[in-house]
Structure 1
Amino acid sequence: MSSPGPRSSVSPSGRSWRDRRLDRDGSLGLRLTLAAVAAFLVLVPFALLAVLVVGSWTPLHELDAAVTAALHRFAADHPGWVRVMKAWTHVFSPGPLRVAALAVVVWVWRRGSRRLALWVVTTMAVGGALGALLKLLVGRDRPELLDPVARAAGFSFPSGHALNATLAAGVLLLVFLPFARGRPGGRLLLWTVAVLLVGVTGLSRVALGVHWASDVLGGWLLGGAVVAATAAAFRTWREQAGLPAGRTTVDGVAPELVDPHA
């Protein structure tokens, strides 16, 4: 009686956790593992900044104070600049940005892209909740100026305006990029609008003296990490479902949105 030969394959239930995480064909394999690692790496700078803020690292505090003092002096001498910054910070505050995101949700839902609508809601909700929770956990006070040009309530780190501007800009950019396919000028315009929304909104908070510069940087980093993480997870689901993925930064998260019936 001949002995059985060596097994040619290993049953899925007998595979190690490491092998399953690196499986290119598994639904929770290599693609999701790489997405999780990428999201983690994006989150690392925010975590390091938060540690420095909580630990009241002297060089960071001195840099924040110097930036705030310089911008406050400029604002005190230029009332027109203050009016522009106040108008911008109100128009692009978290409330209006969430309304804009909701309008996008309704639009993509009516086009039949319900999972894309869920991605937008998830990105905005998760980012907003994380920002509110971290404000309470860190408990950082806002700048105190002798002659403030604006006031704001609540804790300071991370900046809610900077965070929500990053979330909204990321969502809107990745939803509408498919419509600029084959048009470099259109793609450049979308990226320019997104960068201006994020950059000027953050600048307005420091220019008005209601946030430290590191608060704004923290909002940008956290918002970028959330968008990267949810977009990576959405991309993984699309690949698992056999849908075309493309390059996220060029084709957006749902390339078929241009022609949902194609």
Structure 2
Amino acid sequence: MSAPLRGWLGVVAALAALVVLGLAVRYAGASEPGRLDDRIGTALYGVGSPWHEVAKTLDALGEPAGSGALMVGVVAACLAARRVRAAVFAVAGVGLAVGTATLLKHLVGRTIHGDNLSYPSGHTAFATALALVVALLATRGRGREGLGPGPVLGAALFAGAAMGWAQVALGAHYPTDVLGGWCTALAVVPATGRLVDRIFDTAQRKRI
């Protein structure tokens, strides 16, 4: 990441972490929707055809087979371009975002439809993290400083909103679960990018 973008995303990551923590405390152990969930969820749940099929397709992209295929494609593209650092960042950024969401589900203990852990949404965390990683890598390695904060955050917002809509429309998550998943990715991916940069830069200096 370029220095200006690193600064912007550092602020975003800190704010996102606060949102994740606040929602985690608010909905720890809960099994019912909050007032915000009721208002938004009622409007989005139970969409008809063809939007139901669109929601199911988006949901499938967050399942192991779909997400695995997307990750293989991104990593293969990075390796084909001989961008090993980018490949490591893609795997680590998305993997840690999804792993963090999974860990938080067990720590927070919020449930939906019985005993299904729901906070935060892992599908939304995956989609947001992948979009954020791809946006950050989109122009790197071509003599440019990469995308600015607007397009990068716009990509994360679009992907998170699309997957989040699908999760609420299908009744798989509460809206606040989706917000938590989106913010989880925004908090984890920039931190992972800085860590990967530091590791690779340190390794390069040692070789010189």
Residue of structure 1 in register with 2:97 after alignment:
127
The answer to whether 1:45 aligns with 2:19 is yes
- How far apart are 1:194 and its partner, in Å? 4.9
Residue of structure 1 in register with 2:88 after alignment:
118
- How far apart are 1:163 and its partner, in Å? 0.6
Aligned pair partner of 2:163 in 189, 196, 201: 201
Q: For the Cα contact (< 8 Å) 2:94–2:126, is it kept in 1?
A: yes
Q: Secondary structure at the match of 1:224?
A: helix
CA RMSD of aligned residues (A): 3.6
- How far apart are 1:64 and its partner, in Å? 0.9
TM-score, length basis structure 1: 0.61
TM-score, length basis structure 2: 0.75
- How far apart are 1:122 and its partner, in Å? 1.3
Identity of aligned residues (%): 29
- Give distance in 1, aligned partners of 2:81 and 2:49: 46
Residue of structure 2 in register with 1:83 after alignment:
53
Cα 1:182–1:63 shift into 2, 3 Å: closer
Residue of structure 1 in register with 2:28 after alignment:
54
Where do 5+ consecutive residues of structure 2 fail to align? 1-6
Aligned 1:164-203 pairs, distance under 5 A = 164-178=126-140, 194-203=156-165
- How far apart are 1:234 and its partner, in Å? 3.4
Cα 1:65–1:35 shift into 2, 3 Å: closer
Tell which structure's C-alpha radius of gyration is larger. Answer: 1
Query: Which deviates more, 84-93 or 113-122?
Result: 84-93
- How far apart are 1:235 and its partner, in Å? 4.1
Q: For the Cα contact (< 8 Å) 2:9–2:190, is it kept in 1?
A: no
- How far apart are 1:199 and its partner, in Å? 1.3
2:17 partner letter: L
Aligned pair partner of 1:218 in 180, 192, 201: 180
The answer to whether 1:65 aligns with 2:35 is no
Higher RCO (Cα < 8 Å, 6 or more apart): 2
Where do 5+ consecutive residues of structure 1 fail to align? 1-33, 145-152, 244-262
Give aligned pairs, total. Answer: 194
- How far apart are 1:218 and its partner, in Å? 0.3
